[in-house]
Amino acid sequence: MAADKQIEETIRAISAKDTSAAGAYHALSGDARKKVLGALSADGLKTLTRLIKDAKKKSFAAANKRFLEIASGAVQTPVYLLDETLIEENMRIMQYIKDRTGCKILHALKAYASFATFPMMSRYLDGTCASGLNEARLGHEEFKKEVHTFGVAYREKEFRQILKHSDSIIFNSFYQLRKYGKTARKSGVEIGVRINPGHTEVTTDMYNPCAAHSRLGIVYDTFSEEFPKYTNMVDGFHFHAMCEQNSDVLERILKSFEKLYGPYIKGLKWVNFGGGHHITSDDYDLERLIKLINAFKKKYGVQVYLEPGEASVLNAGVLISSVLDIVKNEAEIAIIDASAETHMPDVLLMPYRPHIMKSAQPNEKKHTYRIAGPSCLAGDVMGDYSFDQPLKRGDKLVFTDMALYSIVKSTTFNGINLPDIATIRDGGKVEVVKRFGYKDYKNRQS
């Protein structure tokens, strides 16, 4: 179909609230999408947002069936199974935010670094954000777009290498800016400072970048005293103050940020709103995010960056494991080939109870089991779950939402092997992209 005709058809589908409109919009080129957005009224834009969210929800519901089908087949366990089509659904939401606001979105490598899916992700996003040399290098080599590095404190022997792989470097203190700023300038890398925006609503201190005594981000008192000496050395401000939160929280953070730091933004090139935006969750208010970014850009005339990690792969991967044995100690305990301690450490750290497909809370269904890992750690337990049928040795269990902060955090503690990493591409084909073994364990010991 000719481009103009495609644009017309898409606008018509949106106006008719036709469910095909989301797919039609995503299939357009960047210029054509711009034309569609330009032609829509405020109500039309809201309709498009809703249609895009509904389409995404539908794809994810269909994929849950696919995960179960694959688990019931001959797949070797344990395995992290990443569904590239679902990651792409998440990417489309990000692209839509970019289309509506002109902001740039970076993927935070700390949450997910399985580069097998980077060629697809890099078609949508502007680059990656890194926490140090290894992530900066991976982003540069595999994502091949912008790299923005924030390190809590840089090591002298790594700094030049980090610059080689980065487009911007963000400092956590004025000492670090003084020490490394000139070198960064000379190499043409942009410079930012991370500040504490003065507001946070994260309730778990372990995950709260702005908790009392946090080392993450320069506090306002220090900033206001020191920043005037460095204005011509700084291109941007960075803050990160959220965790799995909605745009109403961002609105309150921005209010505090603007009150404290607004007077210093003039002359900067960019402001980075960090990560923790749960952009791709069903209840996320996209319209509010779009409104906030557009208002900020209009007021300050700077480029806005977001750097979510979790949202890129939210609900797009599972960990499939097999029941190895069932033992009894008053309760029935199923021992599986995946470990909470080594394969999903956030389960113990946060802590939280991961969801297992086709299971319910203990005693809600007929057969209740404690699900536990194979390591020696007494607390290597995912939780208590109930099932319609009794569990048998060899049964597969599918843990949902395991692409994020799991593969990147896994360990070989206790000599336990790392799970395979496999992808589903083109809506069905499973490809094992990485298999680990004894060498990976041995290489980490001396």
Ligand X SMILES: Cc1ncc(COP(=O)(O)O)c(C=O)c1O
Residues of the shown chain interacting with ligand X in the complex, contacts defined by CB under 6 A: 108, 110-111, 129, 150, 240, 243, 274-276, 307-311
Query: Residue 125: is it exposed, middle or buried by C-beta count within 10 angstroms (0-12/13-18/19+)?
Result: buried
Within 13 Å, how many C-alpha atoms sit on residue 143's CB side? 28
* DSSP secondary structure, 274-306, as one string: -S-B-TTSTT--HHHHHHHHHHHHHHH--EEEE
314 or 323: CB nearest ligand X: 314
What sign for the dihedral angle of Cα 404, 405, 407, 408? positive
User: CA 86 to CA 319: how far, in whole Å?
Assistant: 15
Q: Considering the complex, what minimum distance in angstroms separates the CB of residue 207 from ligand X?
A: 8
150 or 237: CB nearest ligand X: 150
111 or 336: CB nearest ligand X: 111
Q: Considering the complex, what minimum distance in angstroms separates the CB of residue 278 from ligand X?
A: 8
* DSSP secondary structure, 16-42, as one string: TT-TTHHHHHHTS-HHHHHHHHHHS-H
Residue sitting closest to ligand X (CB): 275
Which residue spans within 123-249 are E strands per DSSP? 127-130, 146-150, 168-171, 190-194, 236-238
9 or 244: CB nearest ligand X: 244
Q: Considering the complex, what minimum distance in angstroms separates the CB of residue 100 from ligand X?
A: 20
Q: Considering the complex, what minimum distance in angstroms separates the CB of residue 238 from ligand X?
A: 7
Query: How far apart, in Å, do the first and last CA atoms of the chain sit?
Result: 62
129 or 250: CB nearest ligand X: 129
Contacts 24+ apart (CB under 8 A), 256-260: 256/197, 256/198, 256/199, 257/195, 257/197, 257/198, 257/199, 259/198, 260/197, 260/198, 260/220, 260/223
127 or 309: CB nearest ligand X: 309
Contacts 24+ apart (CB under 8 A), 246-252: 246/278, 246/283, 246/284, 246/285, 246/288, 247/277, 247/284, 247/285, 247/286, 247/288, 247/289, 247/292, 248/285, 248/288, 249/201, 250/277, 250/289, 250/292, 251/288, 251/292, 252/199, 252/201
Of residues 279, 367, 263, 373, the one with CA closest to residue 324: 373
Q: Considering the complex, what minimum distance in angstroms separates the CB of residue 321 from ligand X?
A: 24
Q: Considering the complex, what minimum distance in angstroms separates the CB of residue 309 from ligand X?
A: 3
311 or 422: CB nearest ligand X: 311
| Number of neighbours of residue 242 by Cβ within 10 angstroms | 26
Question: Which residue reads 């394969």 in tokens?
Answer: 343
Q: Considering the complex, what minimum distance in angstroms separates the CB of residue 327 from ligand X?
A: 37
48 or 249: CB nearest ligand X: 249
274 or 373: CB nearest ligand X: 274
10 or 122: CB nearest ligand X: 122
Q: Considering the complex, what minimum distance in angstroms separates the CB of residue 275 from ligand X?
A: 2
Q: Count the residues in the chain.
A: 446
User: CA 227 to CA 233: how far, in whole Å?
Assistant: 10
Contact 324, 335 (CB under 8 A): yes
Q: Considering the complex, what minimum distance in angstroms separates the CB of residue 298 from ligand X?
A: 25
Q: Considering the complex, what minimum distance in angstroms separates the CB of residue 223 from ligand X?
A: 17
Question: Which residue reads 């083109």 in tokens?
Answer: 426
Q: Considering the complex, what minimum distance in angstroms separates the CB of residue 291 from ligand X?
A: 20
20 or 281: CB nearest ligand X: 281
3-state secondary structure of 434: strand
